[in-house]
Amino acid sequence: MADQVNKDKQNKLDKFLTQIPRLSDKKDINKREANFSPDNTSPSLQQAEKQARLTMLNDPHKVCLSNPDSPVSSPHKDTTCDLVNTVSTVTATTQKDETIFQLSNIVCATLKNQEFIDSIIPLISEKVMNLITPQLFQLVDQHMEPHIETIEANRKKIELKKYELQQHKTEIDSLKTKLQEVESRLEEQERYSRRTSLRFNNVKVPVDTNGYIVKPVDTDSIIQEICDKQLGVKLDIRDIRRSHPIGKPVGDKISIIVRFISYRQKHMIVNQKQNLKDNPDKTFITDNLTRHRYNLMKRLNGLILDVRWINCCKKIGIMLVSVSIEPFSSNWSNYEYTVLIYEGFFYLLLLFCWW
């Protein structure tokens, strides 16, 4: 009995599906309507049939209840209406899918529009930046905090080292000042100890047959002879405290340093030393300068070889500089003339600074 009922339900469903057009495809409905010929069906009949189909599509439950003679109505009316409900549900789902498909096409077309993309990207970027910026700052602060602490500690160490360096620099400057004072005092003491000394240069001494100097050299007698015969200064042997050769000999000529008993003997010899200008042995007398003053005089003598506008003279151990602005030639330009004057004043200033 149950098999017979199921078979009847299946037959009724098949008959119903054959009478109802396919609702999932509107194109098929249009094709069926186009296939009806005006010769077979009148326009009023076509309109009534179309209205019935639309009514069936819109409310199948109403059709089942209001039309008991319809193919859908049967002794098994509830089962048939359930089938109609199933078909209507499938149709609604198909229409929904078609609507979703159309919306997807609209969305795709919108996303392909470059103007829309250009206008929405800044908004999206701003929104994203507003969301991630606080987190980024927090992450950066967390990772940078140890490094900032290390940098701050190193900065404090550097400040401490700078302070210590400044202290050392101040101490070094103070030591330099003290050293200059000590050197100046030493220079004064050394110059004072040499204030009674003179140096005789290019003094001819006896040599043997091989050209070697005969030793010991009687420097006291040689100095006394030079003073008596060439300078015209009567010098007693007792006026000489100490004399000895100094430096390397050149052939049969040496340099002799002499310390006198008093400053008076030295002053007399210095006043008469110009008498040695025509000496055939080219003997000359200089002051016994300290190393510093000797180097300074050497530099000034180098200028004398180039120009005549600066003359150096030594008197009683004090170095005097006289400046003459007369050049060698009248053809010198104003530029060369100015340069020479500036150089002269520069070395003059250098001399007084070291003095």
- Give 271-285 pLDDT, tens digit per residue: 888 888 888 888 888
Determine the Cα–Cα distance for residues 165 and 275; give it in Å rounded to an integer.
Answer: 60
**Confidence (pLDDT) at 175:** 95
Q: Which of 9-13, 32-36, 231-235, 303-307 has the highest mean pLDDT?
A: 231-235
256 within a domain of the structure (yes/no):
yes
Which of 168, 193, 218 is the last residue before a domain boundary? 193
Q: What is the mean pLDDT of residues 29-38?
A: 44
124 within a domain of the structure (yes/no):
no
**Confidence (pLDDT) at 104:** 75
Determine the Cα–Cα distance for residues 159 and 167; give it in Å rounded to an integer.
Answer: 12
88 within a domain of the structure (yes/no):
yes
117 within a domain of the structure (yes/no):
no
> How many structural domains compose the chain?
4
**Confidence (pLDDT) at 80:** 45
**Confidence (pLDDT) at 164:** 94
Instruction: Identify the domain containing residue 251 by its residue range.
Output: 198-288
Give residue 268's region: left, alpha or beta (phi > 0; psi -120 to 50).
Answer: alpha
Query: 102 and 189: one domain?
Result: no
Identify which has the larger pLDDT, 336 or 168.
168
Kindly compute the dihedral angle of the four CA atoms of residues 104, 109, 110, 113, in this order, to the nearest 10 degrees: 160
**Confidence (pLDDT) at 5:** 54
Give residue 2's region: left, alpha or beta (phi > 0; psi -120 to 50).
Answer: alpha
Backbone CA torsion sign across 213, 219, 225, 228: positive
118 within a domain of the structure (yes/no):
no
Which of 254, 269, 288 is the last residue before a domain boundary? 288
Residue 332 has pLDDT above 80, yes or no: no
Q: What is the mean pLDDT of residues 181-205?
A: 87
**Confidence (pLDDT) at 326:** 47
Which of 66, 84, 111 is the last residue before a domain boundary? 111
What pTM did the predictor assign? Answer: 0.43
- Looking at the chain, the whole-number percentage of residues with pLDDT higher than 90 is 10
119 within a domain of the structure (yes/no):
no
Total H helices, total E strands in the chain = 10, 6
208 within a domain of the structure (yes/no):
yes
- Looking at the chain, the whole-number percentage of residues with pLDDT higher than 70 is 56
What would the pLDDT profile of 74-120 be if each residue is shown by its tens digit? 444 444 445 445 545 545 555 555 566 567 777 777 777 788 788 88
Kindly compute the dihedral angle of the four CA atoms of residues 176, 181, 185, 187, in this order, to the nearest 10 degrees: 50
Determine the Cα–Cα distance for residues 327 and 350; give it in Å rounded to an integer.
Answer: 22
226 within a domain of the structure (yes/no):
yes
Joined tokens for residue 243? 């004399």
Q: What is the mean pLDDT of residues 9-37?
A: 51
Query: 135 and 169: one domain?
Result: yes
What would the pLDDT profile of 178-192 be if each residue is shown by its tens digit? 999 998 888 888 888
Joined tokens for residue 286? 């200089």
Q: Which of 106-115, 168-177, 283-292, 295-304 has the highest mean pLDDT?
A: 168-177
Q: What is the mean pLDDT of residues 289-298?
A: 79
